[in-house]
Structure 1
Amino acid sequence: MPDRLGSMYLAAETGAQIGGDLYDVVQTRYGVRMIVGDVRGKGLPAVRAAAVVLGAFREVVHYEDDLAEVINHCGEALRRDAVVAVAGVVGGDDALLEGFVTALVAQIPDSPHFETINRGHPLPLLLSNGTVRPLMPTVPLPPFGIEEFISGPPVLTDSYPFAPGDRLLLYTDGVIEARDWDDTFFDLPEAMMAMRDHTRQAFLEGLRQALLRHAQSRLADDVAVILVDRCEGEGHQPTGGPT
């Protein structure tokens, strides 16, 4: 049951107060694993925080079977980096303040479902049976950097049906916070529904054009998107990669 994946990245206009968007897609023995995230900050500290989280994901994604441990490893790496910053070794207190990161990890195994853990990130969208719906986590969790608000049982992985013909969209908030001259936010679910019959490449290009048209080509934040189609067919490994 192969999957087809694509991605898109749009940089904000020069001079915008942008944060550090991050994303990656990796084929592992557990299936395709993905991360998408966004640092709530700007400048070099935000870039550093994004690099720390992405590096931690790449370090652990191939050998840790528990998706919760994958995302916990990313949070631990960010906390360690913050401790170094507070100690004055790198960046001082300002670097710590830029360490607030939303992130979502997802896993698509060779079965008709997929799994996610969401740390305060915009909700993924699932197009299934002609309907687009946001995927709410069972237990909402805060972003990395404010773990003191996590209490109760360990972090659990949410699982959702993912059948042939379904489409999954992960994205950063630069998409849904894009505004037009009337200060109206971009309606991503509506755009996804309008392009439900588009091929993967046509959808990504259509989304790019719609975003730039809505924002008059003046994006205030970076945009990162990962699109996954669950396809009919033979085989045991998802194929393709970000395009």
Structure 2
Amino acid sequence: MRSLLRPAPRPGVGGHSRVLFTLAQCLPFAIALLVVGIELSPAHFLYTGPLLTATPALAAVTMGPKGTIWAAAFALAVSVTTATYNQAWGNQQVYTNFLAILLVSAASVTTSSAIRTRRQGELDQVRRIAVAAQEVLLRPVPARLGPMRAASMYLAAETGAQIGGDLYEAVQTRFGVRMIMGDVRGKGLPAVRSAAAVLGAFREAVHYEDELAEVMNHCAAAFRRECAVPGAVDQQAECFVTAVVAQVPDGSVVQLVNRGHPPPLVLRQGKVQALIPTSPLPPLGLEDFIIGPPAKPESYPFVPGDRLLLHTDGVVEARNRDNDFFALPEAMEAVYARNPLEFLEQLHQGLIRHTEGWLADDVAMILLDRLDEEVGEQVGADADSSSDRRD
């Protein structure tokens, strides 16, 4: 499993705070340029010393020690230039300004360094906690599941977070390989709690429920119970989870129950096919909109050599600067990789290039390779021998 920290969203995709941050970084240099304009104009009789003295202090707030040093150097250069232009050398005020800039710069660099060290320590601690929480909630998908090779990837869009509202799991059961991919509406801790409730129900029911639809029903019931807990979710927002549950039995098929989730994709002989349900169903939590008999799994071909991708809408709805969506089917067809982990890594790199590294939503993916029986037996034997060597 791959998990990465994501920075704040890009401007235009919900990142207006980044624009304000950039403006704050430019403010010290803008003030210094304003001083240049005043000192080189007929208004040079105005006293601009306090403006230059404040430049390194303002830089220390947003730019760190290196940025503060550059701002201080720029302020000193401006002071030397204006003093020379106005022939002010020998004036005690000039030397007082130099001394004030140097003292404020030294204090700002020291303070900025201490703040950065403390913040880095706090961030490292948050990361360690996030990694531990992620390993409990989103366990790594095994590299081998019966006659298949598997891999997973998770990218959290929340600043400084490694877990969010996306959920996934893949396990080997007596019914075959069973998987779930879901996306909780909302962000933050309420979304994480809802994801944990759905995953807990899936992990329990997946081993004893014969019918795949009943596994989904257990997940829906657990989610409704979570929504009923006061304060567990955002009571002002609509409470639902899109989810798809998949089962790969012994035959060359994959069975799906899809509750409002983006359809899985199958890559077969270089072409991608979307496994679109014939009878669309609403997400978990919106069962009142279901009309007719209970849902039954739909079967699709999944033969040796095929690759099955389950993903969340954070992949297909990722946009670039031109507001174009990420073309996932075309990206899958363009990827060449021998194993699932490399395949997902190349998809990840394509996604990062498309969005220029700024995700507006969490991203989760599971990839399954359906192996030939002979290949599957050889992969299993290689895995067993590797395990023996490690022991």
- What TM-score do the two structures reach when normalised by structure 1? 0.89
C-alpha distance in 1, partners of 2:188/2:158? 14
CA-CA distance at 1:158 after TM superposition: 0.5
| Alpha carbons 1:23, 1:36 under 8 Å: kept | yes
- Deviation at residue 152 of structure 1 after TM alignment: 0.5
Alignment of 1:39-118 (within 5 A): 39-83=184-228, 85=229, 90-91=230-231, 94-95=234-235, 97=237, 99-118=239-258
Partner of 2:358: 218
Relative contact order, CA 8 A, sep 6+: which one is greater?
1
Residue 108 (structure 1) shift = 0.7
- Alignment partner of 1:11: what SS? strand
Superposition RMSD on alpha carbons, in Å? Answer: 2.3
1:84-111 Cα shifts (integer Å, max 9, x gaps) = x2xxxx3077348363100000011111
- Partner residue of 1:38? 183
Q: Are 2:314 and 1:174 equivalent residues in the alignment? A: yes
Conserved 8 A contact 2:194-2:233: no
Contiguous gaps of at least 5 residues in structure 2? 1-145, 384-391
Whether 1:139 and 2:284 are equivalent positions in the alignment is no
SS of the residue 1:91 aligns to: coil
Kindly provide the amino acid, as one letter, of the partner of residue 356 in structure 2. Answer: Q
Range with greater deviation from structure 2 (191-200 or 71-80) = 191-200
Alpha-carbon distance in 2 for matches of 1:146, 1:2: 35
> What CA deviation, in whole Å up to 9, does each residue of 1:128-152 have, x standing for no partner?
2332111111210000111111011
- Within-5 A mapping of 1:4-15: 4-14=149-159
Structure whose alpha-carbon radius of gyration is higher: 2
- 1:13 & 1:206 partners in 2: Cα distance? 22
The alpha carbon displacement at 1:42 in A equals: 1.4
- Higher mean alpha-carbon deviation, 191-200 vs 55-64, is at 191-200
Classify 1:228/1:182 alpha carbon distance in 2 versus 1 (closer, same or farther; 3 Å).
Answer: same
Measured against aligned partners, the alpha-carbon deviations of 1:22-74 in whole angstroms (never above 9, x if no partner) come to: 00111101111000000111122111111111111011111111000000110
- C-alpha displacement at 1:199, in angstroms? 3.2
Distance 1:91 1:182, change over 3 A: same
Residues 93, 22 of structure 1: alpha-carbon distance in 2 compared, 3 angstrom cutoff: closer
The Cα of 1:19 is off from its aligned counterpart by 5.3
Whole-angstrom CA distance in 1 between matches of 2:310 and 2:189 = 25
Is the 1:46–1:99 Cα contact (8 Å) retained in structure 2? no
Instruction: Give SS of 1:12's match.
Output: strand
Tell me the CA shift for residue 15 of structure 1: 7.1
Quick one: which amino acid aligns to residue 324 of structure 2? T
Structure 1 contact 115–160 (Cα < 8 Å) conserved: yes
| Equivalent residue number for residue 153 of structure 1 | 293
Do residues 204 (structure 1) and 344 (structure 2) align? Answer: yes
8 Å CA contact 1:41, 1:100 repeated in 2: no
2-structure distance, mates of 1:141, 1:23 = 19
- For structure 1, the 5+ residue unaligned runs are none
Deviates more, 1:219-228 or 1:124-133: 124-133
Aligned residues: 233
Residue 3 in structure 1 maps to residue 148 in structure 2: yes
Q: 1:94 aligns to what SS in structure 2?
A: coil
Flag the structure with higher strand content: 1
Contact 1:39-1:98 at 8 Å conserved across structures: no
Question: TM-score, normalized by length of structure 2?
Answer: 0.56
Q: Once the 2 structures are TM-superposed, how far is the Cα of residue 13 of structure 1 from its aligned partner?
A: 5.0
Whether contact under 8 Å (1:2, 1:233) holds in the other structure is: yes
